Amino acid sequence: MYRPVVVIIVAASALQQAACFAPSSVPTLLPKTSAPSSCTSTAPSAVGRSARAMPPRMAADDKITLAGGLEVSKVGIGAWSWGDSLFWGYDKNMEEDAYLAYKTTREAGINLIDTAEVYGGVGNDWGLSEKLCGKFDKRYQDEEKGEGAVIASKFAVIPPRFTRDAVVSAVKKSNERLGVSCMDLYQLHWPGFIIDAALWDGLADAADMGLVKSVGVSNYSAKRLREAHKALAARGVPLATNQVQYSLLHRNIERNGVKEACEDLGVNILAYSPLAQGLLTGRYSSTNLPKGPRANIMKGRFSELDPLLVGLKEVGEAHGEKSRSQVALNWLIAKGTIPIPGARNAAQAGENAGAMGWELSGEEVEKLDALSLKLEPFPGMPLAAM
């Protein structure tokens, strides 16, 4: 996502995909409709989210209640790689691996799945990740008799969608792709700046119409977050989340007031890129770079990372051979946030889940704090600082 050549995850990815739209394929504005009576699945033969409710598979203290009432696991999963060919090289042959990642995630007790309309291909593949998330959720309920997930998606602020009606229209399209009439959590993917007020009204309109249960934002500065919270509160709509980049290699929100603002307002932080695109996993090296744009992000970083990677390994060994990834995710839990790592297969999903059910000590958190502060920050989303 990051550096001029790789600012892809949200802004550049969305804008590149938007540029590929023919004018007729840009989502059109739909008239407002009356609120549905309940949040139920609209996919053919789909089972309603509440129809197969099962007891939670995790302890009560492994769940967090967001503003507005949604209960989510302490770790979520980011679905960017499911369907995204531009950054992650997804193709249709990877669908079964992606489903097994979803299934493993759900079986481990993780119920929060984060996607976005920009996560996918271009043109007709716009929203492919949403389609896959809806498909996986239905399959899991049908085959495993499991409970439906808490699925979150995001609105892309791209031309010409600069009005409150555009937000309502987009959430309807996202709900259709997900196979639901009411989404669990709908977020603005990045700020709209001079049109922010219209977008906040759009979120509130969607909530009033019963199209979404909860609303959130993403990549918001402290000042913008406080303004959004105030505007939504005036409409009687709680602001549940601010999804921002946060990891041991990107701690800007601790210094720019975002983390403090979220804590003051009762807004939960969803931490994206919690493993710094894989840098914190220990899987890669200067001679073993990942394919695609991530190689440009990681190149030249490994020698300075060694002390932190060693520290992660030492802490993990003290907790029964936890992996570096699990320690890095648990550090984010200790910071009071909800990390949403990606998972392209069942093994990665299982490793993510291993970050729950145990806690770092205060001394271990301080040790990792000190090691990470010495490092050059991982590149971030430019709009998040505005």
C-beta pairs of 258-263 under 8 Å, 24+ apart in sequence:
258/220, 258/221, 258/222, 258/225, 259/335, 260/222, 261/222, 261/225, 261/226, 262/225, 263/336
Question: Could you give the C-alpha distances from 270 to 59, 255, 318, in angstroms and in order?
Answer: 20, 17, 27
Looking at residue 286, its pLDDT comes to: 59
For residue 147, which of 187, 106, 105 has the smallest C-alpha distance?
Answer: 106
The confidence score (pLDDT) of residue 295 equals: 67
Distance CA 116, CA 113 (A): 10
Is 284 considered catalytic here?
no
The CA distances from residue 240 to 10, 70, 219, in Å, are: 20, 9, 14
Residue 232 C-alpha from the chain's centroid: 21
Measured CA to CA, the distance from residue 52 to residue 274 in angstroms comes to 32
One-letter amino acid at 265 equals L
Three-class secondary structure of residue 384 per DSSP: helix
Query: Which residues partner with 210 through β-bridges?
Result: none
Cα-to-chain-centroid distance, residue 224: 19
CA distance 201 to 163: 9
DSSP strand pairing (212-218 vs 183-188): parallel
What confidence score (pLDDT) does residue 334 get? 98
Q: Would you state the pLDDT for residue 120?
A: 86
- The pLDDT value given to residue 242: 98
- Which residue is listed with tokens 């709009």? 383
| Radius of gyration from C-alpha coordinates of the chain | 20
Tell me, what's the pLDDT at 386? 67
What are the angstrom distances between the C-alpha of 244 and each of 111, 146, 187, 195, 247?
19, 30, 12, 20, 10
Segments in the chain below pLDDT 70: 1-61, 121-122, 285-288, 290, 292-295, 298, 300, 381-386
Catalytic residue among 2, 90, 102, 119: 119
Please give the model's pTM, rounded to 2 decimal places.
0.85
What pLDDT was estimated at residue 54?
Answer: 34
The answer to whether the bond into 27 is cis (omega within 30° of 0) is: no
Q: What share of the chain is helix, strand, coil (3-state, %, to 5)?
A: 45, 15, 40
- Residue 48: the pLDDT is 37
CATH of 63-373, one of 3.40.920.10, 3.20.20.100, 3.40.50.880, 3.40.50.11720: 3.20.20.100
352 in Cβ contact with 105 (< 8 Å): yes
